[in-house]
Amino acid sequence: MLTTQTKDSGWLKPILLAVIIVIVVRTFLFSPYTVKGASMEPTLHDRERIVVSKTSNWIGDVKRSDIVIIKGSSDNYVKRVIGLPGDTLEMRNDQLYVNNKQVQESYLHEYKLIANEKYMKLTEDFGPITVPKEHYFVMGDNRHRSMDSRNGLGYIEEKQIIGISKFVISPIKNMRTTE
């Protein structure tokens, strides 16, 4: 004896499969986030939507200068990784030194020009400090308007890093990579 399937059951499996794929991708691979505030300007702007790779949670590929999403107690934060576990950091005369080597922060070029015109420092001096094991030191690109490892967030534990920003997807006219 043959059984007949109803026409309605044909669409259920593809929809269920699509929902499962979306859940897996958003949970383990990529997820969209919205930037809130001006702490990452000029790199990222308030209300831009970014795509974040979550593979750093299980691959552990966070590098210096990556833009990361950090899980806070009530909010998530978008910041740039300045120091890796074990790094010694020092800021002198607007110049970053990591492990006693001068680091060029090309992403700050616009702000350094403005700061020089106004005879002001972009970043106050600090350090030398050593980043603890399994922690990171982060700062916003807009150093005057950023709560970060210097002034409120402290060192960031590895488990607080949700992922690494890869693309700006919205508004469409601003689409670009964030690396």
Q: pLDDT tens, 2-18?
A: 555 555 567 888 887 77
Single-letter code of the amino acid located at 28: F
Q: Where are the domains of the chain?
A: 11-177
Cα separation, 68 vs 49, in Å, equals 14
Q: Above 60 in pLDDT, residue 82? A: yes
Matching CATH number, 11-177, of 2.10.109.10, 3.40.605.10, 3.20.20.70, 2.30.29.30: 2.10.109.10
Query: Which position among 53, 56, 79, 165 bears the catalytic label?
Result: 79
* Upstream peptide bond of 128 is cis (omega within 30 degrees of 0): yes
Active site residue 39: yes
Asked if the model's pLDDT at residue 178 lies above 80, the reply is yes
Q: What mean pLDDT do residues 124-138 have? A: 95
Q: C-alpha distances in angstroms, 126 versus 63, 90, 97, 123, 141?
A: 22, 6, 10, 9, 16
The alpha carbon of residue 147 and the mean position of all alpha carbons in its chain are separated, in whole angstroms, by 14
What is the pLDDT, as a whole number, of residue 132? Answer: 97
